[in-house]
Each structure stands twice: as structure tokens, then as C-alpha cells.
């Protein structure tokens, strides 16, 4: 539980309405009842901003600042809004402690937060119960929690993305090719898709997709990220190639991203829903561990020879300490006495299937999986069709 934030039983509300009046605050024109400024209306698929109920000028300044940090456009009132349904329809209601009395009789609903500053005021709990608040939050201690909650509202949080990690059992196994093919296939089927290059020494997935010249940010731009990254802002900032977004490396010298940045970026990607495909290196450092912690399913591409199996066993031992669901995708040709089931048995991991060997050679500049009827595309399509039934969410 975050500092300044408490959970308890919900109760009920009542309120009055003051006459709207106009103020100027921090460059925003505030009409009590609405905030108007130069930001565009909420994009399609996004919810409205939070409803703020307070007459405390300093508290309002703080809440407006936090809404701006979360990318949300709030509506401000001194009491329960007169407009029919406004109280019930708001995705989040932030009630200043000064306004608790004025909203005491409003309709009960979820998503009400009572916000105050006095940590020593024991009466805040009684007032929270009276208005049926889900949470009590004290500023400034609870600021980060509140920014995250407001950002969830602004982004319209739904089911998280199904996140699939792909790694090679040994060098040259074809993991990057499979990762690209999975992403291309997912995008072709109409899913929101993000491909993440988590291997700084792999040469760049944007190159493999033919999008090295595409405009957008690469990993080094996110090196200083911590806390929360906006999912919509992340998606819009990345290069778009073959109807999917790609987070790759540039051609600079940077080969490391702080773990907190990896955590923040992948969390933002997952909040957007759809599918996220992560191309993983075979080593496990702190940054890779953060990526593995957010992956629902891992696919390890293993060449069907004894050297490949021996190397894959070591990789699986390291990765399996963090990733709970790791499966094997076998790539031929097969050494004598081996088939895909035997490779999976020797590794003690579930078998996904055999990755078509001929698919590893790219021709004509097409991206991996770009030919919808090709063997690699059919393999990936069949895999995506199975995953929701096996417990993933798309």
C-alpha cells in the first residue's frame, strides 16, 4: 500500500451546489464545472478525465498539476455537479476533504477518492465512510499513487496485452526472426501490436523489418524513464512499420537501459492491450529480468542438435528462475535420433511446435511472416489462435 493511501469499507454521500464562477490558475482558464485549454478532446477509445470536487485553492492547484502529469483533462466542481449523470459517469472522482460535507448525499458509486493534507486528522476516516470513498489519500505522500490512478483513467485501462517473449537456445537459432514474424502476423490479424527489441547487441529489429529509416524514438530516448510512462504517448512516439509499432535500438554506442526504465516502458506497453512481442537476449541481467517479469509466455527457439540442446538447457535454467511459462519451438534440420518431441523431452519443457526451417531465409525484402500463406506465417497464426484458449488475453 502506498504511503498516504488507505482502503476501507465503502459507505454513502450528500451535497449542495455553489454558483459557478471563473478563475485563472496556472495558465488554465477554469470555469467551475469545466476546464478549458488548448488540449484536444479525448481520443477515441479513451475515457474522460476525473471529476474534481473542491473549493480549496491550494488543493485544486495540486490536483490540476497531478492531472497534467498524468495527461488527463479534469472537470472541476464545488459540489455534486448539477448536470444529470455527471457524478455517476465520471471514471474517477477526487473529493477534497473540504468538500466531503457537500457530497454526502450523492449516489453511491465506485472510484471515489477523498484527498486531504492533514495526516493527523482522525476525522478524515469518518468523512470518507460518509461519502462512500474507496480510498483516503494524503498529499504529498500519495502523489505517485494518484498520478498512476489518474493516468489509468485517462488511458481507459482494459485487459493487459498478451506479452510473449522470444529467445534463442543458442546463438543463431532464429529467435529474432520468429519474434518479428509473430508481431507481423499479430498486426495483420488486426491486433494492436508492439514489438520490443530487448537485445542491444542484436543489430536492431527495425533493420530486420526494413524500417531502420522510419521516424520515431529508439531505446536510448527512454533511458531516463522511471515511475510511469503513458501508454498512449509511448505508442505514438515509436516507429510504425508493417502496421505495428517497434521499440528498437539505434546505431549509437548505448547498449544498456536501466532496469527501472525497462519496467516503466514495458508496463506502459502492456496497459495498451493487444499483443506485445519481446525479442530477448540469452543472458539475464537486471534489465532482462525486469522484462521477463512482465512476460506471460516465453518461446525458446532451439536448433535440433546436441549442441543446441545443451546450450538451451543452460539458458532455460537461468530464464526459468523468473519466467513461469517457458516453451520450446524446435528448428530443424534434425540430428540423427532427434525430433521435436524428443528435443522438448530432453529439455523438460512443453513443446509449441516446429518452426519451419525454410522460413529462416528472407527473400525479396519481405519481413519475417510477411507472406500470409508462407510456412512461418501459418505457424505464427496457428500459435496466436491457440494462445487465448490456453489462458492468454488478446
C-alpha 224/C-alpha 291 separation (Å) is: 17
- What are the structural domain ranges in the chain? 5-155, 162-390
Tell me the pLDDT tens digit for each residue of 159-193: 889 999 999 999 999 999 999 999 999 999 999 99
| pLDDT band, residue 293 (cuts 50/70/90) | very high
- The cell for 250 is 539505434
What are the Cα distances from residue 260, in Å, to 133, 135, 166, 206? 32, 27, 21, 23
Mean pLDDT of 327-337: 94
Q: 5-155: what fold?
A: Rossmann fold (3.40.50)
User: In the block, which residue shows the cell 539505434?
Assistant: 250
Closest CA to 167 of 197, 194, 203: 197
Domain 162-390 has CATH 3.40.50.300: yes
Tell me the pLDDT tens digit for each residue of 78-122: 999 999 999 999 999 999 999 999 999 999 999 999 999 988 898
C-alpha 42/C-alpha 209 separation (Å) is: 32
Mean pLDDT of 6-28: 34
376 pLDDT above the threshold of 80: yes
Beta strands per DSSP E along 265-360: 275-279, 297-303, 326-331, 351-355
Closest CA to 214 of 243, 255, 185: 243
Answer with the residue of higher pLDDT: 365 or 286: 286
266 pLDDT above the threshold of 60: yes
Q: What number of residues does the chain have?
A: 394
pLDDT at position 70, please?
Answer: 83
pTM confidence score: 0.71
Q: Do domains 5-155 and 162-390 have the same CATH topology?
A: yes
Mean pLDDT of 331-344: 94
pLDDT at position 4, please?
Answer: 40
Instruction: Determine what percent of the chain falls in helix, strand and coil, rounding each to the nearest 5.
Output: 35, 20, 45
15 pLDDT above the threshold of 80: no
Would you give the end-to-end CA distance of the chain in angstroms? 29
- The cell for 39 is 488540449
pLDDT at position 365, please?
Answer: 66
Any bridge partners for residue 299, and if so which? 166, 327
43 pLDDT above the threshold of 50: no
Output the average pLDDT for the chain: 84
pLDDT at position 324, please?
Answer: 86
Of all helices (H) and strands (E), which one includes residue 244?
Answer: strand 244-247
pLDDT at position 361, please?
Answer: 44
Amino acid at each position: 500500500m502506498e504511503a498516504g493511501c488507505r482502503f476501507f469499507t465503502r459507505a454513502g454521500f450528500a451535497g449542495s451546489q455553489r454558483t459557478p464562477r471563473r478563475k485563472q490558475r496556472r495558465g488554465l482558464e477554469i470555469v467551475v464545472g469545466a476546464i478549458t485549454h488548448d488540449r484536444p478532446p479525448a481520443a477515441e477509445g479513451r475515457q474522460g478525465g476525473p471529476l474534481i470536487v473542491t473549493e480549496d485553492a491550494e488543493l485544486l492547484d495540486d490536483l490540476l498539476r497531478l492531472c497534467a502529469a498524468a495527461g488527463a483533462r479534469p472537470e472541476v466542481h464545488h459540489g455534486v455537479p448539477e448536470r444529470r449523470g455527471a457524478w455517476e459517469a465520471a471514471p474517477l472522482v477526487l473529493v477534497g476533504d473540504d468538500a466531503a460535507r457537500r457530497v454526502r448525499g450523492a449516489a453511491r458509486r465506485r472510484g471515489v477518492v477523498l484527498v486531504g493534507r492533514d495526516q493527523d486528522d482522525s476525522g478524515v476516516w469518518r468523512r470518507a465512510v460518509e461519502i462512500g470513498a474507496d480510498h483516503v489519500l494524503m498529499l504529498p505522500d500519495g502523489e505517485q499513487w494518484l498520478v498512476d490512478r489518474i493516468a489509468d483513467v485517462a488511458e481507459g485501462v482494459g485487459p493487459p496485452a498478451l506479452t510473449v517473449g522470444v529467445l534463442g537456445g543458442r546463438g543463431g537459432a532464429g529467435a529474432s526472426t520468429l519474434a518479428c514474424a509473430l508481431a507481423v502476423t499479430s498486426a495483420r490479424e488486426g491486433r494492436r501490436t508492439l514489438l520490443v527489441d530487448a537485445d542491444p547487441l542484436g543489430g536492431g529489429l527495425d533493420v530486420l523489418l526494413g524500417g531502420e529509416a522510419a521516424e520515431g524514438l529508439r531505446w536510448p530516448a527512454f533511458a531516463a524513464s522511471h515511475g510511469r510512462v503513458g501508454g498512449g504517448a509511448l505508442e505514438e512516439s515509436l516507429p510504425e512499420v508493417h502496421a505495428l509499432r517497434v521499440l528498437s535500438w539505434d546505431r549509437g554506442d548505448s547498449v544498456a537501459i536501466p532496469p527501472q526504465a525497462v519496467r516503466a516502458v514495458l508496463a506502459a506497453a502492456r496497459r495498451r492491450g493487444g499483443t506485445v512481442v519481446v525479442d530477448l537476449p540469452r543472458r539475464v541481467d537486471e534489465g532482462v529480468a525486469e522484462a521477463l517479469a512482465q512476460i506471460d509466455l516465453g518461446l525458446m527457439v532451439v536448433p535440433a542438435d546436441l549442441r543446441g540442446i545443451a546450450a538451451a538447457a543452460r539458458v532455460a535454467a537461468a530464464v526459468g528462475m523468473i519466467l513461469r511459462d517457458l516453451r520450446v519451438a524446435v528448428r530443424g534440420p534434425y540430428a540423427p535420433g532427434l525430433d521435436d518431441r524428443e528435443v522438448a523431452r530432453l529439455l523438460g519443457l512443453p513443446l509449441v511446435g516446429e518452426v519451419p526451417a525454410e522460413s529462416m531465409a528472407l527473400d525479396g525484402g519481405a519481413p519475417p511472416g510477411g507472406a500470409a500463406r508462407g510456412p512461418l506465417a501459418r505457424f505464427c497464426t496457428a500459435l496466436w489462435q491457440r494462445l487465448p484458449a490456453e489462458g492468454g488475453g488478446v
